[in-house]
Each structure stands twice: as C-alpha cells, then as structure tokens.
Structure 1
C-alpha cells in the first residue's frame, strides 16, 4: 500500500545524501580557494607576480572543481558566489599589476554576477596599489589605477541605476567604490599630483 511512498522516500534519501556529500566537498574546496585568492593578492601587492600567478593557476583547478559540483546542484551557486568573486578579484588584480588585459568572466570561466561583484572590490585593491605607487613616486602607475577605478565605478553604477532590484549587492559596492575613488583623488590632489 505504501511501497511507492517508501521508494520515493528512499530516492529522496539518496538525493539528500548526495547533496550532503557535495556540500561537504564544497566547504573544503571553498576554504582552499579563498586562501589561494587572498595569498595571490598579497603576493601581487608585494611585487611577487610570478608567485601570485602560480597561486592563481592552482586556484583555477579548484574553481573548476567547484563549478563542476554546482552543475549537479545549481541551487548551490549562491553559496559559492563569494569564492568565485574572490577568485575573479585576484585574477583581475594580478592581470592589472602584470600590465595585461583584464580577464572577462568568460576567460575566468565563472558566472557573470560574482564577476561583477569582484569588479566592485577590485576598486579597493587598485586604490591600495595607487597609494603605494604614489608613495614611491610612480605617478603614472597611480593615475592609471585611478582611471581604471573611475571607469569601473561608472560602468558598475550604470548597471545599478537600470537594474536596481537585481543589483542590490552591486549598489553597495558602487557606494564603497565611489568613496574610494574620491578618497584617492583627494590624496593625489593634496600631494599636488592631480589638478
């Protein structure tokens, strides 16, 4: 009488077990990926670009594993957005410091929403870079960073104006980016670097 229900319960148990196992795997991978992203940014700011690149390459494999796991359970994508965002941020910062073309979300192989959020955070890392460059009298580098910061801010802000409900996280990042851009410009003006 209830055999079909019991079979459905057993099928549900298998799905729940698989989801549990995937979630456990994701936790381990997320931890490793975050650590590698943070280390890559730190190495880049120290000028150790080859070390930063190696960390990114190692992280790329982990990110692929994460993306493969969430293919099976797309509803897990939300839980790994921060990891994907930090990876994109690290890759963009390292590319900037290597004076390379900044990678797109397609080049990084990640969804576009975490990528857009990463761009908002890149502004803070570029400010850090620009302040360090100005301290060491590398004004062209500081100005290049400021220009990219302004471009990113303007582009991201245009998205939040049009797609406000869908881009609430991005709106906050734009508010922070605006303050960072204004702060950097103010520092450069006070030091006589910008008119």
Structure 2
C-alpha cells in the first residue's frame, strides 16, 4: 500500500499559523507588562515628588495593563516573563503610596499580584523609604527621617522573621542583604544628624549665656 502524502502541507501550514498567533499574543502581553512596569516606576518618582494623586492614576493604568497581559497569558497558555517584574514594581509602588498616605499595608489580592512578587516588591520599598529619610534629613526634618527608619526596620524584621520565605523565594535574600545595609546607613546618618543638632543647641545655649553674662557685666559697671 502506497502512503498518501496529500494534506500534509495544509497540516503544517495550519500549525505554523497557530504558532504565529501565539507568538503575536506573547509579544502583545509582553508589551503590556513592560508598559505597566514603566508606569509603576513613574508612579514611584511621582510619590517622592509629593504628587500622590497623579501617581495613583498611573498605578490604576498599570493595573489595567497587567490584567490585560494576564488575560492573554491565560487564554493562550503562554508565559509572560515581563509580567513578574511588572507585578513586583506595582506592588512596590502601591505599598509606598499607602505608606506615604499613612494607610495600612495592602495585601497581594488587593493589588492583583502573586504573593511572591508582593514580597519582593515589599523588600524594595525599604530603599524607597531610605530616599524619603535622606530627603527629610536634607531639609532638617529629623522626626520624619526617624519615622521612615522605623518603617524600614519594621518591614525588614517582618520579612526576616519568616526564615523559610527567603529560602523558598528566589531573590529575596539578596534584597534583604541590601536592605540591611541601607538601614544601617540610614541609622548612622540619623545618629550623625542628631549629634549635630545637639551640638548646635549646646553652642546656642553657650552663646546665650555669654550674651547674658556680658549684659550683666555692663549693668554692674
């Protein structure tokens, strides 16, 4: 019996067409995730600039793009590498926004991100809080710098208290090592500024005493 070769070209062409569709879908999902990440990074800069409402708008748009990327990923059964980074950046930005507003920490479900990406983003918030602390020191607001340091320490200690998390979640241990260094550096800067302010206060008091003594001597003479 002779094999029937007819129809093979159509089968291969159909499969090739499906593969092209999947690749196009992957490209679209990647682009959406990339744009979402950029929007979240922009939101962080806006938060540091005090433009919280504008930052919130950027984050809403980022959330919409992430959801669209996830929908494509699920419908096509494809992996979108950029989506993980987008979720991590988004978690970092929203957590920072909440903290700057004096609000509670959001949970992963509220943000629409995977739990692991939430924790990685949370670890990065420590670096953003350091930026706030350094800026507070620059303008002489020691109490705010100390508040930022307390938040940094709280996040760090909470993450390190669950030892298995840093073992199971790739990349977290490195972020925590960086965070520890940032906390130590910030603590040192605050201590230095506190000492400087005490010295200035002591010098001011000495100057006041000197002036008071001079006035007393003039009156006595």
Normalised by the length of structure 1, the TM-score is 0.85
Greater C-alpha Rg: 2
Normalised by the length of structure 2, the TM-score is 0.76
Distance 1:74 1:29, change over 3 A: same
TM superposition shift of 1:74: 5.6
Distance 1:4 1:120, change over 3 A: farther
Describe how 1:1-195 pairs up with structure 2 within 5 A.
12-13=15-16, 15-73=18-76, 76-159=79-162, 161-163=163-165, 165-192=167-194
Q: Deviations over 1:5-63 (max 9, x none)?
A: 88875675455333212211123212321221111111111111111111111212112
Distance 1:182 1:63, change over 3 A: same
Q: Deviations over 1:102-132 (max 9, x none)?
A: 2111110111111111011111001001111
Distance 1:44 1:164, change over 3 A: closer
Q: Aligned with 1:118: secondary structure?
A: helix
- Number of residue equivalences: 192
* Maintained 8 Å contact 1:156/1:170: no
Give the Cα separation in 1 of the matches to 2:29 and 2:65. 10
Distance 1:149 1:15, change over 3 A: farther
Q: Which 5+ residue runs of structure 1 have no aligned equivalent?
A: none
| Segment drifting more, 105-114 vs 27-36 | 27-36
Give the Cα separation in 2 of the matches to 1:67 and 1:74. 10
